[in-house]
Structure 1
Amino acid sequence: MNISAPIIFKKSAGVATITFNRPKSRNALTMQMCRDLIEFISGLNGDEQTRVLLLRGNGPDFCSGADLREMTDISAVTPQARAAEVGLNVLDVSQVLFTALHKVDAPIVAGVRGYAIGAGMQFVLAADLVAVSETAKLAVPQVRLGHTADHGESYYLPRKVGSARAMQILLLGEFVTAAQAGQFGLANWVVPDMGLDAQVDGIVGKLSASPPAAVFGMKELLRNCFHNTLEQQFAEELAVVKKCAATDDFVEAMAAAREKRPPIFRGR
């Protein structure tokens, strides 16, 4: 593990951790960082050893989105060339990255302090459980930068906060405070800054100690529920619960309940 790398990737005890590690740049993302993220996240699909994916930022901020200093001056090129360059970046980087994140089987936990802007906000939206510190400031500022959502915000936000709130956040590009994030449903927990790491570690510890077939299956059911009819959801529930019942963890859970003791899940 290279602690000086712009992103620190780590796998330990069933937890995969992504730490954005450019605190002097508010953890802004370069194109190479995005490519590295794609490689790491894509490798988690089908990884039975990873029970949780944790997203966090080093320093006072989570992630401030794209590093605008890396962008070349495109004012002198033709409109067609600008459209082609931006379109290629979206198609080859943004959409690939957040599609890979959407496909992760394990629950995704985000611990957010300070700025979560643009792509940083999308990492928050893609997480299954979110804890924010009172310093958190979230925004999708693309309209104010002359373009539109390009990381999936227009997909996730209406599902998370409803159409009216999504319109407000996306059209105005204003900051959402930590308190508003909790009120709107963008965050599960709003805690003092000093308590954020402990809150996140508690969440991750509970998930990593849970039976993965049940946790992964529950995430799958919730991810699909908005697209299914009731009959389709019943069918998926049946398939998932049968899969869980075939595991040793299910037997252990039932035995522990009968014996009134804490279960020990081994992930099989």
Structure 2
Amino acid sequence: MTYETILLSVAEGVATLTLNRPEALNALNGRMRAEITAALTHLPEGVRSVVITGAGRGFCSGQDLTDAASAIDLERTLREEYEPMLAAITGCAVPVIAAVNGVAAGAGANLALAADVVIATESATFIQAFTRIGLIPDAGGTWIIPRAVGAARAMGMMLFAEPVTARQAADWGLIWEALPDDDFHAGVARRAQALAQGPTQAFLSIREALAASFGNDMGEQLAVEARLQGRAGHSADFAEGVGAFLQKRKPVFRGR
């Protein structure tokens, strides 16, 4: 498939999806949202992890405010374009890393935060910029952020629309790690390979279990764990993991 606003490359089981509108700080227009959704929904064979990053000096500046078609009916745009894109990220068939290489603002920040793991350069910033133009955070921000950092920090981020540094974001638990800029690409590649070589179905079951935990009490969550663990116990990856352990070798996981 040919894309206009993103780049998609695959190497050693890792698909790298690059937001590719650097002249607009990779701002999201309707075409880009559709292409992200399509790319993540129809991954090439052999892909076992995904990295989403940005071309140029930023990750994503959020909604393209020059995209008149998106601004006419914001509710329609969110329901028909943003929701499928976010569902493609959170429901991707393999683990997803957001590699935040610069500013991530507005819906661009929340696109990144929807990934399973967020890794940022230390020079990156996260900005809930919506109130600067009289809007509220969307693209999942009001759900994701308070669960990660608590209500007080989420409210401050959203009311004041001030940049949060990658180091702050890591310290607060909003992202997994902030890496020195010089180590960023190697660090992301190492993490992506770890996921590509790991037990994919176990990773996806972890995602499912954590998502369920926010609405469950302890007893309900124990039942979720038992169900998912029972499924994992019948997988080829579990058999391979145990066999490798007993044979004192590195496991070779193949499930997807």
TM (norm. structure 1) is 0.87
1:210 paired with 2:198, answer yes
Q: Find the counterpart in structure 1 of residue 60 from structure 2.
A: 63
Q: Find the counterpart in structure 1 of residue 216 from structure 2.
A: 228
Deviations 1:10-37 (A, max 9, x none): 3454333311112222111221111222
Q: Find the counterpart in structure 2 of residue 79 from structure 1.
A: none
Aligned residue among 121, 126, 130 for 1:142 = 130
TM (norm. structure 2) is 0.91
1:127 paired with 2:102, answer no
Q: Distance in 2 between matches of 1:180 and 1:71?
A: 34
Q: Distance in 1 between matches of 2:74 and 2:255?
A: 43
Aligned residue among 239, 242, 265 for 2:227 = 239
Alignment of 1:104-123 (within 5 A): 104-123=92-111
Q: Find the counterpart in structure 2 of residue 25 from structure 1.
A: 24
Report the residue type matching 2:38 in the other structure.
E
* Range with bigger deviation, 97-106 or 138-147: 97-106
Q: Distance in 2 between matches of 1:62 and 1:40?
A: 18
Identity of aligned residues (%): 34
Shift of 1:167: 0.2
Contact 2:111 2:139 in 1 (8 A): no
**What SS does structure 1 have at the residue aligned with 2:97?**
strand
Shift of 1:248: 2.0
Deviations 1:117-171 (A, max 9, x none): 1121012210121111111011111111111112111011111111111001111
Contact 1:11 1:17 in 2 (8 A): yes
Aligned residue among 160, 166, 184 for 1:178 = 166
Deviations 1:36-95 (A, max 9, x none): 222223335xx98543221111122111112222237x8xxxxxxx6xx22222222122
**What SS does structure 2 have at the residue aligned with 1:232?**
helix
Q: Distance in 2 between matches of 1:94 and 1:261?
A: 44
Q: Find the counterpart in structure 2 of residue 77 from structure 1.
A: none
**What SS does structure 1 have at the residue aligned with 2:94?**
coil
Structure 2: runs of 5+ lacking an equivalent: none
Larger Rg: 1
* Range with bigger deviation, 195-204 or 235-244: 235-244
Contact 1:143 1:171 in 2 (8 A): yes
Report the residue type matching 1:87 in the other structure.
E
Report the residue type matching 1:22 in the other structure.
R
Report the residue type matching 2:39 in the other structure.
F
Q: Distance in 2 between matches of 1:86 and 1:187?
A: 28
Aligned residue among 46, 49, 52 for 2:49 = 52
Q: Distance in 2 between matches of 1:105 and 1:166?
A: 29
Report runs of 4+ in structure 1 exceeding 6 Å deviation. none
CA RMSD of aligned residues (A): 2.2
1:197 paired with 2:194, answer no
